[in-house]
Amino acid sequence: MGKGKHGHFKEELRSNEHDRMQLKKTIGYFDGVNFIIGTIVGAGIFVSPAGVLKYSLLNVGVALSIWAACGVISLLGSLCYAELGTALPLCGGEYSHVKRALGPLPAFLFIWTVMFTKPASNAARALLFAEYATQPFYGACPAPALLKKCLALAVLWSLGILNGRSVKMATWIQTVFTLLKMIALSVIAIGGIIMLVRGRKENLARFENAFSSEIPDASQIAEAFFQGLYAYGGWWSLNYMAEEIINPSRNIPLTVMTALPAVTLFYLLVNISYLTVLTPEEIVSSVAVAITWADRVIPSIAWVIPLFVAVSIFGSLNSNMFTLGRLSYAGSQSGHLPILISMLNVRYWTPSPAMIFSTTIASIFIIPSDLITLTSYFGFSTWLLTGLTCASLIILRYREPNLHRPYKVFLPVAFGMVAVSLFLVLAPIISSPKVQYIYTLLCVLAGILVYLPFVHFKLHFDFIDKITCYFQLLLEVSPADGKYE
């Protein structure tokens, strides 16, 4: 958190005097589309679309409408982020924008919260990957817990090292796994269309009388939106790599306008396919609806669906680790995390210390996996941070009207996203108040106790400099140009 004097190491470690030590612009339009789709499409659409249908009271028309509405909300949020990303193409996503608009303390509380929630989310993804990757080998029997944890740790560190060594390799991995998961979604979607064309009368009747069932009340619709929006989570990921995007003024809005409609279309087609083959009651009672669907439609090769789910989780984990590393890097650049985390590897030009830092935290959550359950109460913080980011857009519009904005979203959209975020933050707390939410809030506010001495008053210990210098030489890293000189 303090800034020691490490500039003299830069010249010793610099491998090429003619290049600036900074993140390189290597991510193009196609890579950006893959990262957004790969982040959004995880296990949710394969495993648990039952939640939307359950809270829609098995009303098919309402459920499909909510899936479409969630896609629209995610698109509108992405467009708000696109304005911020093109006007301020900085590494760190929402953190950088909140810091610019609201100041250092809200930004520190942002990164303080995210440093718990995002690694825990990555740990949960790694464990879920291990669950589905081992399932075909154990059949109906559960895989040993130790095996799943070891596999989860192996996957985490493999991706952490990969992302710390090569941006190109990480984007290539993301492209391959995004294509694989889209093939899986296409198999389900096309299978459903074929079944619908050949459909029996009872299958078609579910869509002909889509709104004939009981209509849910407002609280149930809200719960259904929570379920749907969870499946769209990750639409904000592009801004975390804005500094590395080629021609961000063009590629950020274009990427958003391609990826979100594509995901929404596929989600609708997959849900229609599920409803064509299975009754609403079967979907709601299924633990993994995609596997139930495969047992009904392609029983001879139904075993491939768990592998497809594992592939989907792996791709989502890769992109989430990539973005988390950039967030840690940006936080360190601002002095909110130790200076070592903001350094770049002199061989690969990647934020390898940031990747090691975020991967280590995620590993800690895996070992006593009960910690992941505790972080579920931080769920509301995702939309709190989204609301703060959209509010930052509004503040910057009025406070910095002359800021160059290659893309501008219709301002009422930003106000609408703030309102949606506020609703999604307050709804779970009001509808089912629990003491855990108070603990969560206290944990967030505890960040102030760290901010005041180490950031505001710049309390610093000399031994931190010695540790930093040691790891700087060990990891062959150097401060980015223009950051601490």
What per-residue confidence (pLDDT) applies to 423? 87
Exposure letters 348-360 (e unless 16+ CB within 10 A, then b): bbbbbbbbbbbbe
Task: Name residue 245's beta-bridge partners.
Answer: 27
What per-residue confidence (pLDDT) applies to 23? 79
Q: 484 lies in a domain?
A: no
Mean pLDDT of all residues in 238-244: 90
Q: 218 lies in a domain?
A: yes
Q: What percent of the chain has pLDDT over 90?
A: 47
DSSP 144: P
> Tell me, what CATH number does 92's domain have?
1.20.1740.10
Please tell me whether residue 376 adopts helix, strand or coil conformation: helix
Average pLDDT of the chain is 86
Task: Name residue 477's beta-bridge partners.
Answer: 345
What per-residue confidence (pLDDT) applies to 373? 65
Min mean pLDDT across 43-57, 206-220, 249-263 is at 206-220
Higher-pLDDT residue of 349, 79: 79
What per-residue confidence (pLDDT) applies to 203? 67
Please tell me whether residue 160 adopts helix, strand or coil conformation: helix
Read off the amino acid at residue 306: P
pLDDT at 11 over 60: no
Q: 62 lies in a domain?
A: yes
- Under the banding of pLDDT at 50, 70 and 90, the label for residue 19 is low
**What's the structural domain count of the chain?**
1
Q: 57 lies in a domain?
A: yes
Q: 485 lies in a domain?
A: no
Q: 274 lies in a domain?
A: yes
What per-residue confidence (pLDDT) applies to 14? 45
Q: 1 lies in a domain?
A: no
Q: What's the domain range around 198?
A: 7-479
Q: 2 lies in a domain?
A: no
pLDDT at 482 over 80: no
Q: What is the pLDDT of residues 287-322, one digit of tens each?
A: 778 888 888 888 887 788 888 888 899 999 999 999
Mean pLDDT of all residues in 9-23: 52
Mean pLDDT of all residues in 65-82: 95
Min mean pLDDT across 33-37, 78-82, 427-431 is at 427-431
What per-residue confidence (pLDDT) applies to 8? 45
Q: What is the pLDDT of residues 130-153, one digit of tens each?
A: 888 887 787 777 888 899 999 999
- What span, in angstroms and rounded, lies between the C-alpha atoms of 400 and 101? 9
